[in-house]
Amino acid sequence: MTDSTSRPTLLTPTIVVSELTKLNGEEALGWRIEDGALQRQFTFKNFHHTMAFVNAVAYVAHQLDHHPDIRVSYSQCMVAWSTHEPAGLTSLDFLAATKVNALKHSA
């Protein structure tokens, strides 16, 4: 976690694998590392549900002051977290992904 005066530190590859395993859990939720980012595709039954989810992700991102790349289509949303400074994956990316998981489970 970070505060306004410190930057998150990059995670080692071993810790990334460990955190990814915890994040996906026994449900194999679909998070993966691709192009240096922590990514997951979410599917919804219609555009309204997709956009409600996108807005909820935006709220989480604003709270954390950590903003993902988001791709949106009618019934799908791809969320990709990575840290820009320092460039790579940090605990903040996994915290954000955990909060996004909670959104999907509450939908």
Report the CATH number that the domain containing residue 70 is assigned in CATH. Answer: 3.30.1360.20
CB-CB neighbours of 85 under 10 Å: 8
Domain ranges, residue 86 = 31-106
Q: Residue 54 corresponds to which tokens in the numbers above?
A: 């996108």
For range 88-101, the mean pLDDT: 96
Query: What's the rounded Cα separation, in Å, for the pair 2 and 11?
Result: 14
- The answer to whether position 66 is within a domain reads yes
pLDDT at 37: 97
43 three-class SS: strand
C-alpha 99 chain-centroid distance = 8
- Distances in Å between the Cα of 44 and the Cα atoms of 47, 55, 67, 80, 95 are 8, 14, 22, 17, 23
Tokens 């990575």 belong to 82
Give the pLDDT confidence of 39-87 residue by residue, as tens digits. 999 999 999 999 999 999 999 999 999 999 999 999 999 999 999 988 9
- The answer to whether position 79 is within a domain reads yes
